[in-house]
Amino acid sequence: MKRKKIYPLLVLLVGAAFIMYEQYGDQLTEKSTYDPNDEIHGSRTQTTNSNPKELTNAYYLPSSTTGQVVHHEGYSLSYHEAFEQAEWVAYELKKNQVVYTDFKRPYFEVDNAVKTESAHWRNYKKSGYDRGHLCPAADRKYTKAAFTETFLTSNISPQKHGFNAGLWNKLEQKVRYWAKKYDGVYVVTGGILEKGLKTIGSEEVAVPNYFYKILLDNTNGQTKTIAFLMPHKDVDKPLYEFVVSIDEIEERTGIDFFPELDDAKEKKLEASTSYKQWSFR
């Protein structure tokens, strides 16, 4: 008699477990995270990544309006939880880092170094927008680990495909050209995050109307800068038509981009809209 009672109970337990898996199994998958330290230590350890890394040029780091700065091996970022993306991503691209290794593209993963949790890649699914890199994967092909960590969702922003593959890609290629020509450049990039933006996904990831990219070169001790502010559109115009002053981008974002520079030098560089020192050939 006891066995007859146990069998129905086992059937009920198995059925309940199956239902729970069907309901919550996908959620468990969605919470998976990628820690770039896994490739170094061989384990999935939690990290705040609060300290600058070996390749981080902290002298040129911008200010953070959120106080949530994360340092990865190949780039640093300031995450803005209200918009579910970075307000800026900064990194130095050296001449010897511009290589063309053909690594396989990994899956996008959430960034567990972001304490408030970075947006999940599924927000972009069927949204009509690309997962647009801020630090391009092509700028980090010098090692597989550096390439892979650009696929963290803290390093992406929603971009229209025509813009991502067109004007934005054109600028990214020009940055690599300048990095080789000037033996390295410092790059700061992001979207203009402001109230009233369209959002995508259940986490309401903001879609910027404008994207910016700021470059600094210090070849032979001579510092020069150039800044671009681009509308989020598929526009067929030469890059120099989008050159603006750093001051204009600071006013739009509230970010101080080069706070460690000498005040007089900073004021002069950030007010300039000249691009004569930069080769557009």
Q: What is the pLDDT of residues 109-125, one digit of tens each?
A: 999 999 999 999 999 99
Mean pLDDT, consecutive 10-residue stretches, the chain (281 aa), reads 50 48 38 37 40 81 96 96 98 95 95 96 97 98 96 98 98 97 96 98 98 94 95 95 98 96 93 93 77
Q: Of 145, 225, 242, which is closest to residue 185 (Cα–Cα)?
A: 225
Q: Give the list of residues 6+ apart from residue 272 with CB closer than 8 angstroms, or none.
A: 225, 245, 246
- Note the helical H segments in the chain: 2-30, 38-41, 144-148, 161-165, 167-181, 246-253, 263-271
Say what the pLDDT of residue 37 is. Answer: 37
pLDDT at 59: 84
Question: Which pLDDT does position 8 carry in this prediction?
Answer: 53
For 238, the token pair is 């030469």
| Residues marked as catalytic | 133
| pTM score, whole prediction | 0.82
CATH entry, 31-271, from 3.40.570.10, 1.10.287.610, 3.20.20.70, 2.60.40.1120: 3.40.570.10
Q: What are the domain boundaries of the chain?
A: 31-271
What whole-number distance in Å separates Cα of residue 99 and Cα of residue 236?
Answer: 27
